[in-house]
Each structure stands twice: as structure tokens, then as C-alpha cells.
Amino acid sequence: MTAVFVTGATGTVGSAVVEHLLARGQQVIAAVRRTGDARVPAAAEQRPFSFDARTREIDEVFEGVDRLFLMRPPAIANVRETLFPVIDAARRRGIHQIAFLSLQGVQANRKTPHYAVEAYLRETRSPCTFLRPNFFMQNLSTTYAEPIRRHGEIFVPAGRSHTAFIDARDVGSAAAATLSNPAHIGKAYTLSGERSLTYRGVAAIMSEVLGRTIRYARPSEKAYLTRLAEAGAPQDYIDVQKMIHRVVRMNVSALPNTSVRKLTGRPATTLEKFVADYAEVWNA
């Protein structure tokens, strides 16, 4: 059997990877905490997996696998003890391709866990593809959703910067495309939307689509990090958020591109469509 093993298979990006791989006729093994997870399509096999697993367990879970979609769960900061052993196991098992979900602008952001993983994949000469997505539109429907829903307020320390937001569903489609063609091994793709927006512009689009006023609060970095700490976020997560948003304020995330269109044959999803698709999140 030749199959793609998908980590984070029930998450925002991983679930989209599973869906699009299946649509391409690929065999998929979904990594889950426990088998029988109803969020995984019936056409995909489920296997229990944890980044904390022992070496032998990781080796066994890769039985019959020839490609790997690898992503770092947000709660994991120490990738040396968690993701590196998975990469080592993939190499021992002869996996032909690892598509790693990295970070847009990672080349200039050496302190992020994503940079360390990319460096290790290169150091070990692993057959890999780097997927470097811009900020997800889904951040608006998950991480930033509560203040939008309750107060009609986007609370992000982005200043006046621009961002070429991307729909995570498009990232899943692009990942499936790269994992379905070995020509993508050794390549790195920055995945952005086809339009660059300020958060004030995002608020205007959300207001129009949702039919109520949404405003951009434009908080300071200190105010944003303080709110994260008050909500109980771990320090490692706070530090990563601090670095990411500093890069955003430098306008590193501002440039749109057509990578999604080139990889999948379809244009990137617009913010208008995304907001319409997820409207119930903010109107609940």
C-alpha cells in the first residue's frame, strides 16, 4: 500500500488536506488521538498518533506510508523533542516525500519553531516540500472570533500593515496537489491570497457581508499580549504570537500571489466568500 499519512487530520488545515487528497483518489491515513473519530471521512483510514509517542510506536504507525503531511500543533514549541523524531522515523521508513506546513516569511524569522523544522529537514536531506502559508482567514473565525462576535471588534496588533490572507481550505488543496506529484519535492511555496488587505479593510468586508458593523481596534502589542496572558495562554505561545505579529507589522505578509491558482488550477478564495461561508460563527 502507498498512502499519505496526514498529521493534524482533524484540524483546520489537516482536515482540508484529507478532503482534497481523497478527491484526487489518493489513499489517506489520518492521524487521530483515538480511532473512530467522526470528523474523519469514512474513505480515510484512521491510526492513533501522538507527537509524544516512543520511537518504535512512530515507526509502526508509518507502516504502508510513502508520503507525509507534517504540521506543528500550535501547543508544541519544542520541535526538537517532538517533530524531529517523526522526521527521523519517516527517513528510516523510506518515506518518499514530506510536505511540511511551515510559515510565510519563515526565512527571516529564525526564532520560530517552523524555521528549526525546515532547517532540520534540509540538514537530514529529507525529500521535502515546504508550504509557507500567509495568515489564515480562519484566524478570524477561531483565534479572533470571540471579540468579533461579542463586541464587533477585530483585536490584532497589526497596525496599518497589509496582509494577503489565505483560506486554509486552499492550503489543503495546494498541499494535496504537491503530495500527488513528486515534481514538487525540493520546492518551497509561499501560499497567499490574491489580494492584500489591511485589517481595517477586513473589517469593512465583514461589515458588508454580515450586515452589522465590525471595526478594527488596532491594539498595541502590549495590550494584545496582555489579553493572551489573561486568557491563560502559555508563554511559549505568547512568544510565538509576538514574533509573528512583529513580522506582520513589517509588511512581510503583504504581498499577494497566484501560487494557489498555479498549484490547483483554481483561484484563491476571496475574503467575501470566506466570510459568507463562516457567517454563523460571528452571528451566533
Residues 16-69 pLDDT 10s: 999 999 999 999 999 999 999 999 999 999 999 999 888 788 899 999 999 999
**Domain presence at residue 211:** no
**Domain presence at residue 32:** yes
Burial call 223-250: b when 16+ CB within 10 Å, e when fewer: ebbeebeeeeeeeeebebbbebbebbee
Beta bridge partners of 188: 130
pLDDT for the residue numbered 91: 95
E strand residue ranges, 89-171? 97-101, 128-133, 153-154, 162-163
Give residues with Cβ within 8 angstroms of 13, minimum separation 6.
71, 101, 133, 136, 168, 171, 172, 175
**What's the one-letter identity of residue 11?**
G
**What's the one-letter identity of residue 131?**
L
Name the phi and psi angles at 214, rounded to 5: -120, 130
Domain that residue 86 falls in: 3-135+166-193+255-268
Instruction: pLDDT band for 1, please (50, 70, 90 cuts).
Output: low
The CA-CA-CA angle for residues 63, 67, 70, to 5°, reads 100
Cα–Cα dist 77/60, whole Å:
25
Q: Which three cell numbers stand for residue 166?
A: 489565505
The CA-CA-CA angle for residues 251, 134, 110, to 5°, reads 70
**Domain presence at residue 248:** no
Instruction: pLDDT band for 144, please (50, 70, 90 cuts).
Output: very high
Q: Which of 35-39, 102-106, 124-128 has the lowest mean pLDDT?
A: 102-106
**Domain presence at residue 151:** no
CATH of the domain at 93: 3.40.50.720
Q: How confident is the model over 196-218, as a mean pLDDT?
A: 97
Cα 85 from chain centroid (whole Å): 21
pLDDT for the residue numbered 129: 98
Cα–Cα dist 101/174, whole Å:
11
Cα–Cα dist 263/269, whole Å:
14
Contact 242, 225 (CB under 8 A): yes
Q: Which three cell numbers stand for residue 232?
A: 491563560
**Domain presence at residue 10:** yes
Looking at the structure of the chain, the number of domains it has is 1
pLDDT for the residue numbered 87: 96
Cα–Cα dist 161/251, whole Å:
6
**Domain presence at residue 247:** no
pLDDT for the residue numbered 244: 82
Q: Which three cell numbers stand for residue 173?
A: 488543496
HSE, CB side, 13 Å, CA atoms: give it for residue 66: 10
- Say if residue 237's pLDDT is above 70: yes
**Domain presence at residue 229:** no
